[in-house]
Amino acid sequence: MSINQVSLHYPDQADTSNSEWTPLPVLQRIIGRLEQDAISYCHWKSNYHLEYALTGVEDVDVLFAPADFSRFVQILLEYDFKQADSVTNRMQPGVFHFLGNDSETGTLINIHAYTRILTGDHFLKSWALPLEDLLLSETSTVNGMRVPAKSSELIVFVFRNMIKYTTLLDLYLSTRSKGANSEEYEWLMSGLDMEDSLGKLQRFFPEVPAADFNNAVELIASGGSLAAKIRLGQRFKRSLGKYRRYGPVQQTVLTAIGVGRMAANRLARKQKHMNFLTGGKIIALVGPQATGKSTLTNALKGWLGQELAVRVIHAGKPPATWSTFLPNKVIPFVKKLLPGYTSVNIEKQAEDEDFSDFPLIFLIRKVMLAHERLRLLRSVYRQSRNGKIIISDRYPSDLVGAIDGATFKDEVIAGESSALKRFLMNRERNIYRKINSPDMVLQLSIPVDTAVIRNKTRNKEGDQTTEYVRTRHSMQLIPEFHHCPVIPFSTDRDIDEMLIEVKQEVWKRL
């Protein structure tokens, strides 16, 4: 498959309709290490769709005995997992997020590791129910993963459902998960020993009457009336009241803050994604025309953007600033008055050291472009230092004269007789000096004949002519980046194979 034919698809559900699916290789190895080291753990949530977690479609929610947690973290670090946290700042004590890449499939994995289970209301998870010993007390192995007994899971399921009927906000939000609740309930009740559940309820939560628990199971099964669910929810709230993390006033205030933060995030179009605790990065993709920069940019965005806060930019075509907006509208008309003028032709001629006839409009546009790039790249640098992953299609080079970087070498500037033109040349150089280096560069290459063929077949707005593509490939100066790792990739090969390799190299450096 060629790179211009790739169709990127990120499924909402794993294809587990037959028995041929297998857990991701890296998860198999991690689970094997947990068993080998006798670590006490279980996958405690959504086990009716355990295959979705094991194939990387959904999060892996794993509970650990506190004494074993540090050994689990050491195992994750050995497999190059990285710790992250939510950009919405809703970190919960005892809950840790780790992201990993399965190197054999290029699948991003999100592991939620728990030493304490917090549950209840949507924003605060304000109930610290002591469920850990209950879930870890009896486990079995399903598809290699340890899971709690269904009799234990039913207790958790009932508690979580009843608490949802104790606040107006959660009543509203719970209406969106009715289908999943019904499916999970049916799965739990299949082969369940209710007497075992009641025995565990008496052992771990003696304050909850068995009659209330049975009534809750019946209400969930029958659908029941909302009024009945609210009344029973209030009974559970009173019975389990000693496990609340916040008093009523504090919970109300913190919930209001949470709602306000969610509204602000939505207004700012801020997604519920995570940042690495070690900070963000700027990933630049560079290379001549039709080497696959846009395709790889979209692939990386789709891959990392599943879990992380990601922004994609095009540094080759930065947006206008307030000072360049009107001049950008005028320049096309000026070009019409200068037949034969194109920037690429002038740049090609500039490779000849004797060339010095730079049109004034060319110099002005070069300064404007440098200014636009500085504004864009300074903005995304700050975002990256606050945790966001930036993926840039093209990036200014450290090598003067190479594409997307400063244009004029010292000897060219010194040889210019016009003071105005020297000023503009120096101005451009000084602007580029203010641009921060990226954190890693993927330097793409492809034979020019392949690039020409690919350029003809791709359906992309603004595609350039064959002559333009050949000119860009023939320009001698290859961009250089002196302050970050540069990873070369030939894109003249199978896209699936290349994407896995690209993901491996990027993940190492995040």
> Mind listing the pLDDT tens digit for each residue in 219-250?
888 877 888 888 999 999 999 989 988 888 88
Q: How confident is the model over 214-222, as a mean pLDDT?
A: 90
Instruction: Kindly state the tokens that stand for 37.
Output: 């080291």
Q: What is the DSSP letter of 244?
A: B
The pLDDT confidence band at residue 81, using thresholds 50, 70 and 90, is very high
pLDDT of amino acid 8: 32
Position 352 confidence tier, pLDDT thresholds 50, 70, 90: low
Mean pLDDT for all residues in the chain:
83
422-448 pLDDT, tens digit per residue, is 999 999 999 999 999 999 999 988 766
Residue 14 has pLDDT above 50, yes or no: no
- 175 falls in which pLDDT band (50, 70, 90)? low
Identify the pLDDT of residue 459.
Answer: 53
pLDDT tens-digit series, residues 265-296: 666 666 657 888 888 999 999 988 777 888 89
Give me the residues paired with residue 286 across strands: 443
| Tens digits of residue pLDDT in 121-154 | 777 788 889 999 999 999 999 999 999 999 999 9
Q: Which amino acid is at 449?
A: D
Q: What whole-number distance in Å separates Cα of residue 57 and Cα of residue 307? A: 11
Q: How many residues does the chain have?
A: 510
Give the dihedral sign, CA 364/369/370/374.
Answer: positive
pLDDT tens-digit readout, 42-63: 999 989 999 999 999 999 999 9
Q: Rounded mean pLDDT of 480-494?
A: 87
Query: Please, which residues bridge with residue 108 across strands?
Result: 101
- pLDDT confidence of residue 509: 92
Residue 179 DSSP one-character state: H
64: three-class secondary structure by DSSP: strand
pLDDT score at 6: 34
For the stretch 456-479, pLDDT in tens is: 555 555 445 655 555 555 555 678
Q: Would you tell me how many other CB atoms lie within 10 Å of the CB of residue 348? A: 16
**What are the structural domains, with CATH classification, of the chain?**
3-267 (no CATH), 279-509 (3.40.50.300)
Region 328-332: what's the mean pLDDT?
Answer: 74
First-to-final CA distance of the chain: 28
Residue 484: pLDDT band with limits 50, 70, 90: very high
- Choose the weakest-confidence range: 25-34, 192-201, 261-270: 261-270
More confident residue, 173 or 118: 118
How do 274-276 and 82-86 pair as beta strands? antiparallel
Other CB atoms closer than 10 Å to residue 494's CB: what's the count?
12
Per-residue confidence (pLDDT) for residue 5, from 0 to 100: 34
Over the Cα atoms of the chain, what is R_g? Answer: 29
Provide the β-strand partners of residue 99: 82, 110
φ, ψ of residue 139 in degrees (nearest 5): -130, 160
Q: Any idea of the CA torsion for 161, 167, 171, 177, to the nearest 10 degrees?
A: -40
d(CA 87, CA 81): 19
pLDDT for position 18: 45
Across residues 95-120, what is the average pLDDT? Answer: 92
CB atoms within 10 A of CB 141: 11
Percent of the chain residues past pLDDT 70, beyond the cut: 81
